[in-house]
Amino acid sequence: MEKKEDLIKDFKIAIASTAKSVSNVNDLEVIFGNQDLKTDKITIKLPEMENINNKINYTKARALADSEALKIRYSDEKILDSKKPSGTVSKKLYSIAEKIRYEKLGSLEFKGIRENIKTSYIEKLNNLKTEKNSERLIEAFENYLRINFFNIKNNKNIEKTFKDFKKGFDDKLKSKLKILNNSIKDQSKFNSLISDLISEMNINEEIEHDQKEEENSSSDDSSPKSTEQSTQEKMEENEEMSVESSIPDVENFSSKSEGDNEDLEIEEPSSSTKQRGKTVRDFGNKKYKAYTNEFDETIKAEELESEDELNRLRQNLDQQLLQLKNFISKLANKLQRKLLAKQNRSWDFDLEEGLLDNSKLARIIIDPFNSLSFKKEKDFEFKDTLVTILIDNSGSMRGKPISVAAVCADILSRTLERCLVKVEVLGFTTKHWKGGSSREKWINNQKPLFPGRLNDLRHIIYKSADVPWRQAKKNIGLMLKEGLLKENIDGEALKWAYNKMAKRKEERKILMVISDGAPVDDSTLSSNSSDYLENDLKNAVKWIEKNTSIELLAIGIGHDVTRYYNKAVKITDVQDLGDVMINQLTELFTKKNINKSIH
C-alpha cells in the first residue's frame, strides 16, 4: 500500500515539475483533486490520481497538465477576451480553437507533449458519446481542427459520426486552414481570424436554447412529462441537422419558411447598444433570401492577389494620391485638428515609468537616477470610437470614382489613426457577372420560381479595425484591380458590415457607405421582382437606424441615396468626395446635423 502511495506521490511531483518547466513559471502550484488550497500563486488543477496502473488516467493527467501549462505560457487572456464572439456555442468553439493553437505551439517545441496530447485525444474519441446536437457540433469542430493541425486520423466509426459536419466545415473553413496554421504564433491574429470565421458561420443558437431547456427540465423534478417529451423530440429532430443547417450564413437569415418561428441570434453588440434581444430576422425583410450561400466569400484583400501585384497596385494608387494629396490632406488636417481639440488631452506627471517628461531634463542631467521623471497620457472617452468605411466595388465605380474612393479611404485611415480612432475599410461586389455558381445551381435544379439572390457575394476586408494603416496600405490599392469590380448587392453588404461592427466593444460606432447607384445584379433581378434588392436595402437601413446606436451615413456619387438613408449626401462630381467625406465626419464628431444634399 505504501509503495502504491509512493508511486502516486512521485508521479504527482513529476507532473508538477514538468508543468513548471513547460509553463516557464517556477512558483506554479499544481493541485490534484478537490484540494482547497488558498494561494496567490498561478495554479493548475488536475484530477486526483486514483491508480498509477490505470494508463488512461495517467495519460489524461499528463496531457491535461501539459495543456494547462501551455495555456499559461502561450495564451493571453486579455487578447482572448477581446476577440470573443457572442453566443454560448460560438464561445465554446472559439475556446477550443485557442486551446488547439497553444497545444500546437507546444507540440512544435516539445515532442513528448505532442504524443501526450495526441494519445489522450484518441482515447477520448474512442470513448466519445454525444447525445445533444450542440455537443456533436462542438466535438465535430474540435475533431476537424485536430485532424488538420495534428494529422490525427479517425477510425471508421468516428468518421461516420462526423461525416455530415465535415462537408460544412470544409465549405466554411478549409480555405482558411493554411492561414490559421501560419498564424499560431500570433495569438491576436489567430483569435481575430477564428472569431470572424465562427461569427460568419452564425451558429444557430436554437441549439443552445434546446440545451438550456433540457438542463432546466432535468433540474426541475416537478416538470410535466409532456414538456420533457417535447424537449426530447426537439433534440432528436436537431440530431438530424447537418453542420450546414446548424451554421447558416448571416445573409441567408430569412431563407427559412415564414412559418418557422425559431430566430437566429445576431452577434452581441457592445454594452452601449444593448441589442442582445434583437435577432437577424429583425433586419426587417422576411421575404428576402439567397438561393444559396455556399459560393459566397468574405476575404481579406491580401488573399486575392500576390504581394507583388498588391505592391504594383499600391504604386498606381500613390500616383493618384499625388494629384489629390494636397487638397485632401488639408481637409484631413482640418478634421484632425477638430478631433484633437475635442479630445482635451491631459497627462499624469511625476511617474516612475512612461514617457520621458522633457520639463524634467535638468533634474535628470543633475541626477540620472532620479525617479518620478516620466509622464503618461490620461485615458479619455473619445478614444473609444470605430469608423467603418463601406465602399461599393461595382463595375459602375470603375475609373475615377473608385480611384478617388480609395484615395479618400487611405487618407482618412491615416488621419483617424493619428487621433486614436479605429478605422476599417470594407468593399462589396460579386464574384461573377450575371450570376455564377449560384445561378448554375439554380438552373440545374430546374429553375424554381422566385429563387432570391442569384449571384456569389464577395465581401472584401481591405483594412481591419485593429490593423495599423502601414500594414494595410498596400491592400487598399486592390480597389484599382482590373476585373475586380462587378455587381453590387448593397443590402447584404450593409448587414455584413453591421454584424462586424456589432461584435466590437467601442462605445461609438460610425458606418459610412459610399455608393454610386441602386443595388443591381442582373441575374437576381431577372428572376425576382424588379425592386427585390432595393427593398432589402431599405429594410436593412431602416432596421439599423431604428434599432441600433450605430451612426449610419451615406454618400451617393451622382446618385441620390436619401431615399434609402436618413443621413445622406449626394455629390455630382467625384472630385468632391474627399471634401464631403471629411466634412461629414467633422460635422458628425461635432454633433451637427448632416441631413443635407450637395448638388
* pLDDT exceeds cutoff 70 at 117: yes
Supply the pLDDT for residue 330. Answer: 67
Q: Which residues are 488's β-sheet partners? A: 520
pLDDT-based confidence at residue 363 (cuts at 50, 70, 90) = low
**Residue 371 φ/ψ region, left for φ over 0, alpha for ψ in the -120 to 50 degree band, beta for the rest:** beta
Distances (CA, A) of 48 to 15, 31, 57, 60: 12, 9, 9, 11
95 vs 214: CA distance, rounded Å: 23
Q: Which of 21-25, 119-123, 375-379, 593-597 has the lowest mean pLDDT?
A: 593-597
pLDDT-based confidence at residue 165 (cuts at 50, 70, 90) = confident
Q: Which three cell numbers stand for residue 117?
A: 496530447
How does 426-442 read in b/e, with b if 16+ C-beta sit within 10 Å? bbbbbbbeebbebbebb
* pLDDT exceeds cutoff 80 at 139: yes
Q: Which helix (H) or strand (E) holds 324?
A: helix 307-343
* pLDDT exceeds cutoff 50 at 236: no
Q: Are strands 374-377 and 347-351 parallel, antiparallel or unpaired?
A: antiparallel
Q: Residues near 226 by Cβ (< 8 Å), separated by ≥ 6?
A: none
| Tens-place pLDDT, residues 322-343 | 766 666 566 667 666 666 555 5
Domain segments of the chain as ranges:
2-53, 77-201, 302-340+384-589, 346-377
* pLDDT exceeds cutoff 90 at 493: yes
* pLDDT exceeds cutoff 60 at 599: no
496 vs 479: CA distance, rounded Å: 19
Supply the pLDDT for residue 366. Answer: 65
* pLDDT exceeds cutoff 70 at 527: yes
pLDDT-based confidence at residue 261 (cuts at 50, 70, 90) = very low
Distances (CA, A) of 74 to 70, 90, 114, 145, 531: 6, 22, 15, 18, 52
Most confident of 46-60, 242-256, 516-530: 516-530
- Rounded mean pLDDT of 69-89? 88
What's this model's pTM, rounded to 2 decimal places? 0.49
Q: Say if CB 243 and CB 508 are below 8 A apart.
A: no
189 vs 193: CA distance, rounded Å: 6
Supply the pLDDT for residue 576. Answer: 74
**Of 166, 182, 189, nearest in space to 82 by CA:** 189
pLDDT-based confidence at residue 87 (cuts at 50, 70, 90) = confident
Supply the pLDDT for residue 563. Answer: 87
In the chain, what percentage of residues exceed pLDDT 90? 28
101 vs 97: CA distance, rounded Å: 6
Supply the pLDDT for residue 280. Answer: 41
Phi, psi of 364 (to 5 degrees): -70, -40
Q: Higher-confidence residue: 256 or 513?
A: 513
Phi, psi of 375 (to 5 degrees): -135, 160
Most confident of 269-278, 373-382, 399-408: 399-408
Q: Higher-confidence residue: 186 or 5?
A: 186
DSSP letters of 261-320?
A: -PPPBPPP--TTT--TT-BGGGGS-TT--BS--TT-EEEEGGGTS-HHHHHHHHHHHHHH
**Placement of cell 516557464 in the chain:** 24
Q: Which of 159-163, 282-286, 312-316, 535-539 has the lowest mean pLDDT?
A: 282-286
Q: Which of 259-268, 444-453, 474-483, 578-587 has the lowest mean pLDDT?
A: 259-268
Q: Which of 9-13, 174-178, 445-449, 500-504 has the lowest mean pLDDT?
A: 9-13
Q: Higher-confidence residue: 521 or 404?
A: 521
Q: Which residues are 391's β-sheet partners? A: 427, 514
161 vs 171: CA distance, rounded Å: 18
* pLDDT exceeds cutoff 50 at 482: yes
pLDDT-based confidence at residue 121 (cuts at 50, 70, 90) = confident
Supply the pLDDT for residue 244. Answer: 36
**Placement of cell 472630385 in the chain:** 575
Q: Higher-confidence residue: 339 or 539?
A: 539
* pLDDT exceeds cutoff 90 at 573: no
Supply the pLDDT for residue 113. Answer: 87
Strand order in the sheet with 355-356: 347-351, 374-377, 355-356
* pLDDT exceeds cutoff 60 at 260: no
Across 72-199, the runs of DSSP E, i.e. the strands, are none
* pLDDT exceeds cutoff 80 at 7: no
Q: Higher-confidence residue: 510 or 31?
A: 510
Q: What share of the chain is helix, strand, coil (3-state, %, to 5)?
A: 55, 10, 35
574 vs 326: CA distance, rounded Å: 16
Phi, psi of 180 (to 5 degrees): -60, -45
* pLDDT exceeds cutoff 50 at 533: yes
Most confident of 191-195, 205-209, 251-255: 191-195
- Rounded mean pLDDT of 405-428? 87
Supply the pLDDT for residue 278. Answer: 39
CATH annotation of 302-340+384-589: 3.40.50.410
Supply the pLDDT for residue 266. Answer: 32
Nearest-5° Cα angle at 414, 471 to 510: 105
Supply the pLDDT for residue 350. Answer: 67
Q: Which three cell numbers stand for residue 221?
A: 423534478
Most confident of 53-62, 493-502, 512-521: 493-502
Count of C-beta atoms within a 10 Å radius of residue 305: 18
* pLDDT exceeds cutoff 50 at 273: no
Give burial (CB, 10 Å; 0-12/13-18/19+) of 587: middle
43 vs 29: CA distance, rounded Å: 5
Supply the pLDDT for residue 479. Answer: 93
